[in-house]
Structure 1
């Protein structure tokens, strides 16, 4: 294919000359056309709406087909220098995603009016040879020969709809009985408001545990009605954590949700050997990340609880994350055990742990997931990066779960994603007798906190089924 574009002048063109282009219509084409034109007709952009009886499942745009005619006239016949004067088009049938459209033009009149006018018959047909657009166009043909190198078009990056995964969580949670949850020390607008919002959405039945005067002051300041919810008064955050944990231990609440207190303070009460919520498994944290530029949700563990986990602890970290993924009904997760490199190196202990974890999965010591590692983060999420390094793996480039080698790397990765790229992450602690809804204090109210509550509810109900 030539890297140049060349026109045909008025004197070179004869009646009967023709040219054509063809293109396969994609969803991206429709989205880009909508961005450029402002045409947000749901018949073109909303798959569910387009599937209604009115549209018979057609998702497409006749105007997009008409635009191909302009492409032929402006790039081939007559080509560069053409001035479009008039067109008359009829849209005969709809176009849907996946159709191959051939746009053709044919000279039907060469006007000898001294103005270099040409009249074209225009036609767009689909892969079955059926016309979708017909009409005519009038142009001024160029009189000077033009040959130029083709201009490289800028790449357009499309981001998937932000929040799609979180919306799926909310939809799933709405089908379940609300989760009775102790809200630990909710003395700020984010945690108290988040609890109230989750209750109003039917996700939680909150029990507020903390200093009563502070909780009521925040409720008044934020305009929140907390009268429907039980409030257990405490002197301070430490007592709030202890009482909330005791409620869970007695089966009076089904989950805990962190308010305005340090994670260490809440976890100290949870892991207490006498009054805590320990099980035979190590507790760990999982972030569920809604990443528009990745082709599916991505889970990250552990970026909040275990500072420098050994092999035994990592076994539980991996199993907890797999169990959450399975509870969400998303199939068998692909688990990437990431490190600085994708080869085993005894100088990098995390590569040795990754190798051992893979073997443990083969022997049934870790169940429910497909493991691979060590993998670099790049080849865990990018097939191109994996191929460049010759990695043949069912996990590489398609990971569902990222297992960080330690808290430092996991936490930095999460915060980089959040602060540099605006990625939201719902958070939950697993491995205790009840799920612990644990979000960053910087998360505020909104979709992240609500999605965390939905995660807790879905996980808890899955364990009871």
Structure 2
């Protein structure tokens, strides 16, 4: 296995000892979505239920040379119907995770957040990238770069708690969160620094739990010890963060894509805060990234089972 994928491989290997997670795969009508689901099933990460137009799924499998005979298919007329049927499988306790196939993210998330979906909880719905960055010792969790556009302070608190809980599900021994801004000092002219300071005080008051949190921190002194020392930042997080909370979707999206396209990183994606984890993959994702996303979802589903938050 390429050392580039070492962190993802550790996640996948850990999950191989667990029972596969029943997963509703919504509208897997192309090669990449079928390939990811079937390979994840072969490794024992998920037990896929393919949801969508049976003929299109079978045609796509045949064209790609993928054997799907052992996997159940729930016939649904089109992508919107597939999203609704996948959500229904969760409501019926037949699936403990959702996986995006070849439909738009908005279609799947629309079915999840619908008032009658049964998948909403009291938690904020948010997205995390679990990034495997070459040359960086640990996986980096970046949030939120895909769902919440311009989160308020209250919404950031929910996003932060979701990311902390994800880190624990991934067996991170010490969760160290950097709340990112353009600087490491509180500046009333820069609203993200005020939010960072308030979030840190919420941690002090146990309104957010489970991690060591500091901010505002600029990206360099969040992940590089030398940069933190040069700035004389006295913090248990500075230079050692394994979770990065970004100010808004623009910043998060640019950070994640910069790491992917300039540093050769892979970005496994997961949506949290619903009744089950939701695997969001991109058509551009490699098979390894899709497998890592499935492994992350399997660990989140396991953590929910162990805490008594069983789907259904």
**TM-score, structure 1 normalization:** 0.64
CA deviation after TM superposition for structure 1 residue 290, in Å: 1.0
Q: Which residue of 2 aligns with 1:108?
A: none
The one of 198, 202, 206 aligned to 2:44: 202
CA deviation after TM superposition for structure 1 residue 276, in Å: 4.2
CA distance in 1, matches of 2:193, 2:109: 29
Structure 2 residue 251 is the aligned partner of structure 1 residue 409:
yes
CA distance in 2, matches of 1:209, 1:296: 35
SS at match of 1:207: strand
The one of 265, 269, 283 aligned to 2:111: 269
CA deviation after TM superposition for structure 1 residue 247, in Å: 1.2
CA distance in 2, matches of 1:225, 1:281: 38
CA distance in 2, matches of 1:215, 1:235: 11
Q: How does 1:39-188 map to 2 (within 5 A)?
A: 161-188=3-30
Q: Which residue of 1 aligns with 2:234?
A: 392
SS at match of 2:24: strand
Structure 2 residue 64 is the aligned partner of structure 1 residue 222:
yes
Retained in 1: the 8 A contact 2:133–2:263?
A: no
Q: Which residue of 2 aligns with 1:71?
A: none
Retained in 2: the 8 A contact 1:282–1:316?
A: yes
Q: Which residue of 1 aligns with 2:132?
A: 290
CA deviation after TM superposition for structure 1 residue 168, in Å: 0.6
What is the CA deviation profile of residues 167-207 of structure 1, one whole-angstrom value per residue up to 9, with x for unaligned ones? 11111100100000000110111111110111111111100
CA distance in 2, matches of 1:250, 1:161: 41
Q: Which residue of 2 aligns with 1:449?
A: 290
Q: Which residue of 2 aligns with 1:84?
A: none
Quick check: which has more Rg, 1 or 2? Answer: 1
CA distance in 2, matches of 1:441, 1:306: 21
CA distance in 2, matches of 1:275, 1:181: 17
Q: Which residue of 2 aligns with 1:21?
A: none
Retained in 2: the 8 A contact 1:172–1:458?
A: no
CA distance in 1, matches of 2:185, 2:239: 16
Structure 2 residue 159 is the aligned partner of structure 1 residue 317:
yes
Query: How many matched pairs?
Result: 305
CA distance in 2, matches of 1:227, 1:246: 23
**Higher share in strand:** 1
Q: Which residue of 1 aligns with 2:262?
A: 420
Retained in 2: the 8 A contact 1:269–1:276?
A: no
CA distance in 2, matches of 1:270, 1:262: 13
What is the CA deviation profile of residues 253-298 of structure 1, one whole-angstrom value per residue up to 9, with x for unaligned ones? 1100001111111111101112241100011111111112212211
Note the residue ranges of structure 1 that are not aligned, 5 or more in a row.
Answer: 1-159
CA distance in 1, matches of 2:291, 2:93: 23
Structure 2 residue 206 is the aligned partner of structure 1 residue 364:
yes
CA deviation after TM superposition for structure 1 residue 235, in Å: 1.5
Q: How does 1:285-364 map to 2 (within 5 A)?
A: 285-364=127-206
CA distance in 2, matches of 1:411, 1:441: 16
Retained in 1: the 8 A contact 2:134–2:264?
A: no
Structure 2 residue 80 is the aligned partner of structure 1 residue 235:
no
CA distance in 2, matches of 1:248, 1:371: 34
Q: Which residue of 1 aligns with 2:304?
A: 463
SS at match of 1:252: coil
Retained in 1: the 8 A contact 2:202–2:208?
A: yes
Q: How does 1:243-254 map to 2 (within 5 A)?
A: 243-254=85-96
